[in-house]
Amino acid sequence: MSTQLNETHDPSLTSWVDSANGGGSDFPIQNLPFCVFRRRGSSEAYRGGVAIGDQVVDLAALGDAFAGAARTALQLAAREQLNGLMDAGPAAWSALRLALSRFLRSDAPARPDVLIAQADAEYAVPAQIGDYTDFYTSIHHATSVGKLFRPDEPLLPNYKWVPIGYHGRSSTIGVSGRDFRRPRGQTRSSSGNEPQFGASRRLDYELEVGIFVGGGNAQGDSIEAGQAEEHVFGLCLLNDWSARDIQAWEYQPLGPFLSKNFATTISPWIVTLEALAPYRAAWQRDAADPQPLPYLDYPALRAEGAFDIELEVLIETEGMRREGVAPARISQSNFRHSYWSVAQLVAHHTVNGCALRAGDLLGSGTQSGPDAREAGSLLELSAGGKQPLSLPNGEQRVFLEDGDRIVMRGWAARDGRPRIGFGEVAGTVLPAR
């Protein structure tokens, strides 16, 4: 794991793209997150892009602007999907990042011809996601939800020993801005006898961080925890939409199924681990808790195994849109509260010989903090539907209603350094079919 800073992290750097300067953007020159995009409403092929201020650098338009390893990486990044770049490894990622940084700096010749305004772009899922695994890394979320589902044993004995995860559905992962139908399924009836079938009445969001795998491992091999971040291309925001009533009926004994696989939404931007190097945080484990087994431990874990990323959730109801009321923040948390680190998730996923591939996606699980206001789901905020949330226009919510739009945002900030953001991931609930 390398967290060394280099010239791309220099806080004094500015860009000839004016909107990237001054601290008002998620995307200063120190960030440079990747996406896949095309002009909105066009039939153009999707291709790789990088955010700078309120613009996208069209990587396909750069042609032969770079040389050596950066040129090779650029050719991979300009494709319709980023899997090739992800598979190329940290040296290629770093070479391209450095070349882009130098290309975009204030003292370089301006090239507005390679820019497209983000407002004029539409985005696609940035990689072919072969497999998707969702973890359960917030002990605060696990404990709160456990109290609702299993009052006698909220936190199961294995939680503090092993990163818990389940296999998700990659075919229903979409990019920010999507609308999706309220799911239908079986739920427990009020009589407790035969279940009933219909639209979910307890639809929820989950505030998560997505982890895109870079180079994978051969089947039968494992990735050591200390080298695991060399296999991580970057992070995004992730909303794991959840039907809590379907979940409560189906989750025992094998865990979530239809309650989770109907929709997952991610932000279009992938922030690289190199961009996040100045925003590392200490990873903490209570001394009274079990310490990680050797395969989940590594020298840099406690000093800088976590990421200091602020996360927030906002809601915009149909009524709020009609009345011109701005989306309302309903919670804010931080990724540093995660009980398991990114590297530990990768190491655990492969310790049995499971092969990860470039473009695979891992979800962090709902990121709730220790304070009740830091809960990453409505299930927690409403105490299982018993305590409605009051919104600025007088409406109340216990779970999501049709027309509700959820917006999640994330950013990293530190004194003396620029704020780098993840953009946002947004999605709207449509009525069930």
pLDDT of residue 154: 87
- Write the secondary structure of 308-366 as one string of H (helix), E (strand) and C (coil): CCEEEEEEECHHHHHHCCCCEEEEEEEHHHCCCCHHHHHHHHHCCCCCCCCCCEEECCC
The encoded tokens of residue 337 equal 């509260």
The predicted-structure confidence for 24-76, as pLDDT tens digits, reads as follows: 999 999 999 999 999 999 999 999 999 999 999 999 999 999 999 999 999 99
**Burial (Cβ within 10 Å: 0-12, 13-18, ≥19) of residue 290:** exposed
The encoded tokens of residue 237 equal 């925001």
Q: Which CATH superfamily is 7-124 part of?
A: Fumarylacetoacetase, N-terminal domain (2.30.30.230)
Measured CA to CA, the distance from residue 296 to residue 349 in angstroms comes to 11
The encoded tokens of residue 207 equal 């505030």
Neighbours of 138 (CB within 10 A): 29
At 4 the three-state DSSP class reads coil
Residue 3 pLDDT class (50, 70, 90 cuts): low
The predicted-structure confidence for 351-404, as pLDDT tens digits, reads as follows: 999 999 999 999 999 999 999 999 999 999 999 999 999 999 999 999 999 999
Among the listed residues 140, 141, 348, 349, the single catalytic one is: 141
Nearest C-alpha neighbor of 363 from the set 394, 400, 331, 408: 408
* For the chain, percent of residues with pLDDT exceeding 90: 94
Backbone angles phi, psi at 232, to 5 degrees: -115, 120
pTM exceeds 0.95, yes or no = yes
pLDDT at residue 190 tops 90: no
pLDDT of residue 152: 85
Active site residue 141: yes
Interval 250-268 mean pLDDT: 94
Q: In CATH terms, is domain 132-430 a member of 3.90.850.10?
A: yes
Neighbours of 321 (CB within 10 A): 13
Neighbours of 349 (CB within 10 A): 23
Measured CA to CA, the distance from residue 212 to residue 210 in angstroms comes to 7
Backbone angles phi, psi at 411, to 5 degrees: -160, 155
pLDDT of residue 115: 98
Domain residue spans of the chain: 7-124, 132-430
